[in-house]
Structure 1
Amino acid sequence: METAERIFIPKKLNSATVSSFINSAIEVLEGEKKMKYPEIIFDFSRLHFVEPAGFVTLYNTLQFLISRGCKIYLSINRDNCSPAVKYLDDSGFFKQFGIDLDLKPRLRPTTTEIQSIKASNFRSWSSNTLVPWLQRQTGNTKSSFDDLESAISEIFNNINDHAQCEGVAGGFAQYFPNDNKIRIVIADFGVGIRHTVRRFQKDIFTHSQALKWASEKNNSSGSTPKNRGVGLTHIQQCTANLNGVVAFKSGDAEMRTQNGERKFSKAEYHYPGTYIEVILDSRHIPNIPDEEEDFEW
């Protein structure tokens, strides 16, 4: 392993640091993704804080490198690991890679397990895992999250139909009771929004132009009978109805939507594929009564 490249995971792995972290580990080329190093050691010694954005991105980064034939090694001090490493372990991160740190992991009530997004499981995750978990965090009814479940399923459809991510996609959610925030992150390491949009709009050249087009009402990239292709607009409207915020990253484009207002910015680093984060305040989610079922004998 003397020839392996050592990558230190930053002290804080969150939405502000994920893109620079990715770019330190992989080289993303337009039209092709090429490995920088055949072997990489990911060093966890500096890691002290992880947000859902960092969790999913770290998961996707390792999955991407492994899918490209890169040998991955994890450097972890099992006898003196940080609470952040224990948090990753409790949320199923190391289990996904067949690693047992002997820390007796136990899923915390405030998180879901990290979920690999595949065509075979994405519907069951949103309906059987995410929505019941949201109900437990908020005390709200299932009907309160019906539209969110539909919007997330549409995003998953887009990942499976358009992203060409070869299984490199993940979903994760966490509740922060101290500030009443729920964060749901879905991200893939696919071709990105611009690649998909340019199949329909040849006059779009930049990532920002593509993200603007894809996030506008009535613009659709739907290509299969079960995919309406309106995932971005649907999740924006759904999040607004829940008094929340949704953030997007794709390439060097970033967008944040709140109360129907979109704010765009250009990122310093390239984000491969597409990243979506939904941020909700548990105090401000409308509680919609479940409809009573009628029974006949």
Structure 2
Amino acid sequence: MKQQMKHNQEKTTICIPGLKEDLRIMQITDTHLCEAYPREGEELCRMAGNRHTGFREQGQPGDFTLTDLLQGLIRLSNEERVDGVVFTGDIIDFPSLKNMEVMKSAFGELQMPYLYMPGNHDWSFPHLPVTDEMRVESYPLFQEWFSNVPGCQAIQLGGMNLIGVDNSNYQLTEQQFDFIREQCELGLPSLLFMHIPLYLPSLEPAVRSQWGGSPIMMGAEDWTDQELLNWQIRLPDESTLAFTEWIRRGKGAERIRGVFSGHVHFHHVDAITDGRMHHTTLAGFKGGSRMIHLTKA
């Protein structure tokens, strides 16, 4: 008998004074699809098979595929009749033709509005060097999910503003920071979604424990030179540090009622400031998701 997929869904409730009606938003992250057509080359297909096996070995038992897991989460969103879905990156493990087609097809099954921001795997290939230039060159693949500001998008649902930014290189540009602040100036209560979690002292021990001692969070400054080389990233830019300071106490930041990310593959909740929380969500390849219930005060 085929083993049934199990959903490990974390539930989060946020009270929003003055909200017209309750809303439910489902967050899906890190499904890491590993699909490739034979015509895309033997090397890519071999890598795809090896990585698929690796992710499945880390996940729940069963003979289903990573694509089955994503499609199961899409079905769950439709069955639950949620008001919106947000994908916070690494939905695909690399941008092969087949991965892109399968992901778009899955998104097309949704019966509600959705928001998608790429993670560091969505636009890079594991067997190639990772650079900022590669990320920017990949942006045409994801343009349909961006606003006129590259790597940014926002949708409004029931009086809430859902803001997404691509921080998949561990950085935010000044242009992206401006986009977030401009969205906050609309005056609506907001949620912020991105792939890489914020650096928070309370989150750091769990991240380091899970990821070989490395502080894989946006705004972390205590990387070793070897870790930076291994992860193919750089120390935070000025605009990144300015954002991480602003989100704690900057003018307008109080309108962001919660921050949600993926990347680290586990459920966790930490305070940014009193009453405003930061959430990381269990990887979709492990059956994880998060249901965000926004309720009237």
TM-score when scaled to structure 1?
A: 0.36
Relative contact order, higher structure (CA 8 A, sep 6+): 2
Q: Per residue, is there more strand in 1 or in 2?
A: 1
Bigger Rg, structure 1 or 2: 1
TM-score when scaled to structure 2?
A: 0.36
